[in-house]
Amino acid sequence: MTGKVFKLSMVLSLLTGCVCNAVQDSNASWQPDVKLSGLTKLFETGKTRQIVVSTDGNADFNSIQKAIDSVDKDNKERVIVLIKPGFYKQRVLIPKNKPFITLRGTDPFKTTVSYNLNHDMNKPDGSGKYLADCATLIVESPDLILENLTIENTYGPHPQALAAKLVCERAIAVNCRFLGGQDTLMANSGRQYYVNCYVEGGTDFIYGYAQAVFDNCMIHSKGNSHITAHAATEPNLPTGFVFYSCRVTTADGIMTDLGRPWRPYAKVVYYDCWLDKGIKPEGWDNWRDPNREKTAFYAEYKSFGPGANPSSRVKWSHQLTDAEAKKFLPENFMKLDEHTIDQWLREILDFRKTTALKN
């Protein structure tokens, strides 16, 4: 056993509270961690109220959307929508004027929100194609929390068929699974923090303009394509994707890269991640535009595993030094306007210190 594999094994043992086998291949399974639910409870107060949804009718509502619709506009206190185990074939929209909503399941393997629209389908009202609004879950409001859920789009590998489109500041997802083919998860604006989540897809399946950290997550590719497609249209914007202590796995026979720039100033960093054998040696793609090699920022720090191959990476990518990597630690990368640790971020950082999350 190598020192690095042992290091990751110990981290995962702490996360799950059990003795885990070392992560040596792409068959390592993802599991929710009940201890991490403590993070979401930090954002609840004595005024937090709960609405219950169940498919059996023994609840406040039998539809997640009906529960959302019942929340007052411009609500000031958190509302928990507790979703009982079941298969919910329905789309969910949380509009801009309904902040502070938590969608909470009890087990992501038993609570699934599912639909099957795609990017090229026409809307029934004749207003045009769905495009990114084909997503099963669309959230436009701030202060979202997702917990213990599977959110999926079952249309297939192509064309784009989103599971979730998150256009929101201060979003948190804990113990969630996002399943799809192309464009599974659109993290499209604001600061978003994913803890112990599982994201699966084939092409550009984590994409958008957001400032997002994926902390101790499992990223699984099932396509000979690209994992990320971050976007930024200007340099030095507070945006980008950081994969922090993640496992990046690939299906058998798959060869994929870590990402390609959807817009010229894309920024993606893999920080201390285990990479599977299906990661291409060159690591990154320029989206058929050599000019983006001059503007995109693609980097790794201490990647390990069979897919870690720093000497073969494209020359325009970066292998970070210890000093350079500090910028992409959660406490630095997720600051408000790159300067301020606000209360939202403080709660996350303090929680990380008191749990077994790797620092």
Are 124 and 156 part of one and the same domain? Answer: yes
| Residue 338's pLDDT band (cuts 50, 70, 90) | confident
Q: Which structural domain, as residue segments, surrounds residue 187?
A: 47-201
Residue 356: what pLDDT? Answer: 64
Structure-token pair, residue 132:
């990114």
Residues 268 and 167 in one domain: no
The pLDDT, as a whole number, for residue 359 is 55
Q: What are the tens digits of pLDDT across the range 32-53?
A: 999 999 999 999 999 999 999 9
* In a domain? residue 2: no
Same domain, 234 and 356: yes
Per-residue pLDDT for 132 more than 80?
Answer: yes
Residue 183 confidence (pLDDT) above 90: yes
pLDDT at 21: 30
Instruction: Lowest mean pLDDT of 12-21, 68-77, 224-233, name the range.
Output: 12-21
Least confident range of 26-30, 107-111, 179-183, 289-293: 26-30
Structure tokens at 357: 């999350």
Instruction: Name the pTM for this structure.
Output: 0.91
Instruction: Name the H helices within 240-312.
Output: none
Q: Are residues 289 and 263 in the same domain?
A: yes
Determine if the peptide bond prior to 261 is cis (ω within 30°): no
Residues 160 and 60 both lie in one domain: yes
Q: How many domains does the chain have?
A: 2
13 assigned to some structural domain? no
Residue at a domain's end among 161, 180, 201: 201
Q: Are residues 197 and 153 both part of a single domain?
A: yes
Considering the domain architecture, whether residues 195 and 305 belong to the same structural domain is answered as: no
Q: What is the mean pLDDT of residues 246-266?
A: 98
Q: Is 204 a catalytic residue?
A: yes
Q: Note whether 64 and 113 are same-domain residues.
A: yes
Q: Is 120 a catalytic residue?
A: no
| Last residue in a domain, options 149, 170, 201 | 201
Among 60, 120, 143, 204, the active-site one is: 204
Statement to judge: residues 325 and 260 lie in one domain: yes
Among the listed residues 183, 257, 276, 285, the single catalytic one is 183
Query: What pLDDT was estimated at residue 358?
Result: 63
Tens-digit pLDDT profile for residues 203-240: 999 999 999 999 999 999 999 999 999 999 999 999 99
Whether 180 and 257 share a structural domain:
no
Reported as type and span, the H/E element at residue 324 is helix 322-325
Let me know whether 60 and 177 are in one domain.
yes
CATH number for 274: 2.160.20.10
Residue 183 lies in a domain: yes
| Distance in Å from the first CA to the final CA of the chain | 22
Candidates 193, 251, 192; CA nearest to 227 is 251
Query: Is residue 22 a part of any domain in this protein?
Result: no
Cα angle: 163, vertex 86, 205; to 5 degrees? 15
Residue 188, CB half-sphere, CA atoms under 13 Å: how many?
17
C-alpha span between 210 and 233 (Å, rounded): 12
How crowded is the C-beta side of 348, counted as CA atoms within 13 Å?
26
- Arithmetic mean of pLDDT over the chain: 91
DSSP assignment of 264-280 equals TT-EEEEES-EE-TTB-
202 pLDDT band, cuts 50/70/90, is very high
Whether the predicted pLDDT of 262 surpasses 90: yes
Same domain, 73 and 132: yes
Look at residue 32 and tell me if it is in a domain: no
